[in-house]
Structure 1
Amino acid sequence: MTGASHFMRLAGGWSDPAFRAVATQAMVLALVAGIIAFLAINLIGNLEERSIRTGFGFLWQASGFEIGQSFIAYSASSTFAKALLVGLLNTLVVAILGIVLSTIVGTIVGVASLSRNPLVKPLATTYVELVRNVPLLLQLYVWYAVLTQMLPAASAAPQLLPGLYLAKSGLHFPILHSGAGLVFGALIAGAAAALAYVAWSRRRADLTGAPALLWPRAVLLLGPAIAALLFLAASTPFDVPEPTRFGFSGGGLVTPELTALLIGLSLYNSAFIAEILRAGIMSVSRSQSEAAASLGLSRAHTLRLVIMPQALKVAVPPLASQYLNLAKNTSLAIAIGYPDLMSIGNTIINQTGQAIEVIAILMAVYLTMSLSISAFMNWYNARVALVGMK
């Protein structure tokens, strides 16, 4: 009976709301399907007309080009797939370090903008207004020009520390050709120890009210890696860079392109993060600070234990959007010659002509990276919200 009555309502024509809803959805679906079919047919026809082959088999061919900055072994004889992997790692390094550095700088500037000091507050406000109102691309050009035009050549490069040189070609530093696995394992062990300490300190805080200390986390996180580096330094010879007339021989290199991109992205996004955190802190009622002061808490403890946990509930959603913007803005690296994923993808397109496949790979990678950041921030937002409800 119910099905028959629903059929009678649909048969009522366009004047019936149920019929209009179903008909509208069907027409939109048909229109979208028609557009996709039209584009697909034209794409196939254009590819056949120009004799452009399709498929992903080109990924296993030799790339035939070098990459200036690579965190894994790579040469011109490596495959296009490995070239894309190098670009992905280069992009991830900039995105992860940029998020960390912009958060640190943004937190400092955001707190400073609320300072009562007559010098600190105007400086923080000036920094925010200056940096966020200048286009990011222009800032990248400025930093790249500073690093490549204002620094000395290799023959006159200053030695900042033993084996550490800063020149137009970049930052040259000593490296170890073995032991990376030991350092990586030490980092994992340190991270596990730091997480265990965080869980223990929270349980202790719930039982006794004693605040968790910050310095044990840093010691547990970085201590094993530092110890591994010291052990390797004592037992393994370093490859130290040596300045020559035309450059440096040996050692490791952080290119000016990577440095300019990292500085530009970090400072630009830190200005927005500072405003987000300032707004979050100001959203917390003044009575919270007064109550903390009446309990004898210092201003630093009040900020860390009372204000920031409540401010984060407001700040985390816009912070997630800012982190997504930073990750996507890494594609501007092509403007200053840093070999990120987009830059290497363009090179592969120029060599193979298979733009559809390469663009599909790039879209999938950036989509996955953005969804991963979004998922992590959603998890953290839920965690902060749960803590705030206790």
Structure 2
Amino acid sequence: MGEPLSGPLPWWRDRRVLPWLVQGAVALVVLLLIAFLLGNLVRNLSAAGMLLSYRWLQQPAGFDISETLLPFDAGLPYWRALVAGLVNTLRAVLVGLVGATALGTVVGLASFSPNALLRGLARSYVELIRNIPLLLQLVFWYFVVFLALPNGEAALQLPGVVLAKSGLFLAWFGEGLRWSGPTLVDGVWRAPLRLTVEFSALVTGLVVYTGAFISEVVRGGITAVPKGQWEAAASLGLGPLVTLRRVVLPQALRVIVPGLNTQYISLAKNSALAVAVGYTDLYSVAETTLNQTGRAVEVILILLGAYLVIDLVISALMGWLNRLVRIRER
């Protein structure tokens, strides 16, 4: 038999070196591609006499925003308009996340109900909503539901809530921090808290659509808990609701939280469809800004950066929650 080979292993056969070389080569190709695209962009802008510039952000916007939490008028600069649109987007996203989580959790739990009718309704809701495009659902809620509501005394009136074509009126704390509900004054509804039909249609569509996907995440997380946990809880005399709250859900969170992260990010991105129902979010304001200034590249970069930051913040918060759940389990 021959003598075994001795000496250092060649680098092209070293399994510790090859992965780094492959990653370095891929990174180099990506950087070259980005440099080529940026160079091509700069050349085209130079040929058109439009170098990248953000000085136009200080110019007066010249348009109004129909609905905003920040004070705004046409004389304020473009950057203030974009900030107002961003606040509107965050408002819709936050309300949508809370509503979709609540609805998805309830429907997901209903899938395990001993009542066959309730289980059937939950499954029907999920299958129906998930297979209809969100854009069509938003148009349905806006034109078919909210714009079809009556006004005045004919509006749909519930305790503390009034649904009318002019908006959604809710009881809230009025002047002097006194609890007050919607009132009809000269045929016009007034309330301490009013939501426009555009905002209501957008949030309703996002909640109903995303809630269907979250319900499947919740159902999958509960299914991942071994059946023996249910049986052990029943042997201790715990009821179904107590078993869910004290035994099953704490263990299911390990599976549910990563799935929620994906759905939350999808909801944030889907909020850009607000333009379909006339809600003035960041995308709507950016589109108006682009049309007036002609600064397509700069406006698109602002949009990309804003949505990227929103999604990264959601991902970071959900990652923190995921680590928190794992620590509690230990």
With the length of structure 2 as denominator, give the TM-score of the two structures.
Answer: 0.86
2:227 to 286, 306, 313: 286
Q: Deviations over 1:223-250 (max 9, x none)?
A: xxxxxx4782449x99977456xx7789
Structure 2 unaligned spans of 5+: 1-6
Closer/same/farther in 2, CA of residues 366 and 293 from structure 1, 3 Å limit: same
1:356-377: CA deviation from partner (whole Å, max 9, x where unpaired): 2222221111111111111111
- Name the amino acid aligned to 1:281: I
The equivalent residue for 1:170 is: 167
Question: What is the aligned partner in structure 1 of residue 132 from structure 2?
Answer: 134
Deviations 1:248-279 (A, max 9, x none): 78976422111111001101111111111111
Which structure ranks higher in relative contact order (CA pairs < 8 Å, sequence separation ≥ 6)?
1
- Answer whether contact 1:56 1:357 (CA < 8 A) is retained: yes
Q: What does residue 160 of structure 1 align with?
A: 157
Is residue 160–residue 182 contact of structure 2 (8 Å, CA) maintained in 1? no
**Are the structure 2 counterparts of residues 127 and 171 from structure 1 closer, same or farther at C-alpha, using a change threshold of 3 Å?**
same
Could you tell me whether the CA contact under 8 Å between 1:98 and 1:262 is conserved in 2?
yes
CA RMSD of aligned residues (A): 3.2
Give yes or no for contact 1:174–1:241 (8 Å, CA) kept in 2: no
Count of residues paired in the alignment: 324
Alignment partner of 2:157: what SS?
strand
The percent identity for this pair of structures is 43
Amino acid at match of 1:367: L
1:338 aligns with 2:279: yes
Partner Cα distance (1:238, 1:105) in 2: 25
Is contact 1:242–1:248 with CA below 8 Å preserved after alignment?
A: yes
Question: For 1:28 and 1:9, how far apart are their aligned partners in 2?
Answer: 22
Q: Take 2:254 and 2:17, find their aligned partners in 1: how far apart are those partners? A: 44
1:232 corresponds, among 176, 187, 199, to 176
Extract unaligned runs of 5+ from structure 1: 176-228
> In the alignment, what sits opposite 2:300?
359
Task: Give 3-state SS (helix, strand or coil) of 1:119's partner.
Answer: helix
Instruction: Say whether the 8 Å CA contact 1:147–1:168 is kept in structure 2.
Output: no
1:144 partner amino acid: Y
Look up the equivalent residue of 1:167 and give its one-letter code: A
- Tell me the secondary structure at the aligned position of residue 116 of structure 2: coil
Residues 368-387 of structure 1 show CA distances to partners (whole Å, capped at 9, x for unaligned) of 11111111111111111121
What's the CA shift for 1:304?
A: 0.3
- 1:75-107 Cα deviation digits (max 9, x unpaired): 111211111111111111111111111111111
- 2:215 is aligned, of 274, 279, 288, to 274
**What amino acid does structure 2 have at the position aligned with 1:347?**
T
Q: 2:206 aligns with which of 265, 290, 295?
A: 265
Map 1:53-72 to 2 at 5 A: 53-72=51-70
C-alpha change, 1:372 and 1:310, in structure 2 (3 Å) is same
Instruction: Give the structure 2 partner of residue 119 of structure 1.
Output: 117
1:311 equivalent among 242, 252, 257: 252
The secondary structure found in structure 2 opposite 1:166 is: strand
What's the CA shift for 1:288?
1.2
Distance in 1 between residues matched to 2:111 and 2:181, nearest whole Å: 44
2:265 to 321, 324, 330: 324
Distance 1:162 1:74 in 2: 33
1:26-80: per-residue Cα shift (whole Å, max 9, x none)? Answer: 6545543443333223322322332325321111211111111101111111211
Q: Pick from 82, 86, 92: which aligns with 2:90?
A: 92
TM-score normalised by structure 1 residue count: 0.74
**Letter of the aligned partner of 2:247 in structure 1?**
V
- Mapped to 1, the partners of 2:319 and 2:52 lie a distance apart of 38
Alignment partner of 1:349 is 2:290: yes
| Paired AA for residue 66 in structure 2 | G
Distance in 2, Cα, partners of 1:21 & 1:171: 58
Q: Deviations over 1:207-229 (max 9, x none)?
A: xxxxxxxxxxxxxxxxxxxxxx4
